[in-house]
Structure 1
């Protein structure tokens, strides 16, 4: 997609989805017009270790070419590029990037990374679309699209199987269109034909450029740390992924964080990550207490065999305390908490 000094339409379409997203994307992609004068880029949250069959699934009904993206392939209108497992999907001025940068909002691929890279590269030519999904990935990315003069679309939260993601965008971004899923394909088709604003009216901010660079990881450690420090102020919190210090980003709209490695979190995803870390720590504590109990029981038997009654009694007290503590931790781990819905996997 060569750069030229001419007017453009809205020819970069960016779509993000999470829980409930396979069905929503199949509907949306399947109904996009065959003559759509745009390239389409799609991120669906998915597990890292399982193969993706999304290209085959979406190709059954799509009028456009649907394919998994590969690094540095040229961008072509009329194509739908899908993120692959455990890799971020990014776009540059003329080609696609597929990289294993740090996770954002506990996801790789992440929606924010795609939206941010496109906002930097294409500005007003972007159409951002957020569909059904849990938590709030896509909100910060949509802010970047709007800051560069792009268009913000969301699936109506009332129409979404999981409304959290589009609702978060609606609460934090000046959304241009909020419509049911059924109306999105024709709306995207119409918007793609409209003339985009001049890119020079919406300059790339230093913060946007820095955050886009962090995902690509094409810098040394000193530059990485310096870049994160410029974005915010160090907090007392630690990263659930690498356990390094977190910087609170200077963002007046959304509370969010980054570590110097590059992991990024909204407040909601950070809490979720801390929950996972806490659960892991509790299971480790439970294991240690149960091992302590088993060891104590063996020591008690030995003490009784040798008629060391006082030692056996002391060991019995320690075993009972370990069992009591283990029971408390087990109850915490097994209490009835509603699980957070994650991605809806494509069938194998």
Structure 2
């Protein structure tokens, strides 16, 4: 009989403290493997596994591509690679498309676990900004797995837990100190037989793992362009969760899409400011030349046009800088922070 023996944990900003609290309380004979993904900044290596090991009753190691997971161990993702679980409980790394602007992404691990381990999975979402993990946790539940969420009121950054709870309202919610107890109670319990993964889940997990798939395109085309590659996008609904995926596999939760769009708008505005500044420089040069040659009409025209472009440039500049100082002006959610921030 299948049992719940694969625990996938995702978090971001503020998740370190919750992870340490959970791992310190898990029993040494836990009959399940634990896979951890947090939003790691790109780099040659991460000290996260070493840091968590100081608080954990279980061995904590950095995940290894191609290695099969073992019960009673904690495996931690590496920077700039998605951590996946595949057939036969074998871990895989992928340099595939970023999801929600990050690699590794929580949704990526959760979807892979949902596809290949189904009812055996326990998904856990911890502190973090925005909403990575919500659609992935919905996929875990849709495939028969269990869902646990850190209480958003306790989380240092409640965005991820709150979004996960909105997507999976049936999930068990608890402070980090109680999540270890819930995990322990759930681990090793009988699980239902796995059902068939839907085509959208197969398409996405194949594209992230291999960059190709025989599955049909996921669900409904939508009139959005991918902020990463500008490709056409599809809307995918998993229970109450919705996310968008482009034809090459970039995936976006709604909040991460809005944040990326804001970045694109700001970049475009700064490009406009730069272009206007160049125009002002040329117009002032033409005005000066006209004045030197005694062409007063052209001098007046060029100087007037330079002043007009300067006013427009200042309006755009104030808008960009104002939005940077006051995020509420654009309605933009605060950017997520790497959990290299120790708490």
TM-score normalized with structure 2 length? 0.91
- 2:256 aligned partner: 269
Residue 323 of structure 2 corresponds to residue 337 of structure 1: no
* Cα gap change, 1:347 to 1:180, in 2 (>3 Å): closer
- The residue number in structure 2 matching 1:318 is 305
Unaligned 5+ runs, structure 2:
none
Q: Deviations for 1:262-309, whole angstroms, at most 9, x for unmatched residues?
A: 111122221111111111111111111112112222232222222222
Q: CA RMSD in A?
A: 2.0
C-alpha deviations, 1:172-202, integer Å up to 9, x for none?
2143411111111122122113222222xx3
Output one character per residue of 1:81-107: Cα deviation in whole Å (capped at 9) or x when no partner. 111122111001231011011112222
SS of residue in 2 equivalent to 1:46: coil
> Does 2:137 correspond to 1:142?
yes
Which residue does 2:232 correspond to in 1? Answer: 245
SS at structure 2 position matched to 1:256:
strand
Partner of 1:4: none
Asked if structure 2 preserves the Cα contact closer than 8 Å seen for 1:233 and 1:250, the reply is no
> Are 2:210 and 1:217 aligned?
yes
1:236 positional shift: 2.2
Answer yes or no: is the 8 Å Cα contact 1:240–1:274 preserved in 2.
yes
Cα pair distance change 1:55/1:294, threshold 3 Å: same
Gap change, CA 1:110 and 1:192, over 3 Å in 2: same
Corresponding position of 1:56: 50
TM superposition shift of 1:252: 6.3
Which of 193, 198, 201 lines up with 1:198 in the alignment? 193
**In the aligned structure 2, how far is the partner of 1:209 from the partner of 1:35?**
33
Partners of 2:145 and 2:96 in 1: CA distance: 25
Query: Which sits farther off after the overlay, 248-257 or 64-73?
Result: 248-257
Q: Work out the number of aligned pairs and report it.
A: 334
What TM-score does the superposition give when structure 1 sets the normalisation length?
0.90
Structure 1: distance between partners of 2:103 and 2:319 = 30
Counterpart residue number, 1:296: 283
Structure 1 partner of 2:79: 85
Once residues 180 and 168 of structure 1 are traced to their aligned partners in structure 2, the CA distance between those partners, rounded to angstroms, is 16
* Contact 2:96 2:211 (C-alpha < 8 Å) held by counterparts: no
Deviations 1:195-235 (A, max 9, x none): 22222xx3322222122112113427xx6xx74xx313332
Do the aligned partners of residues 294 and 246 (structure 1) sit closer, same or farther apart at CA in structure 2, a change above 3 Å counting?
A: same
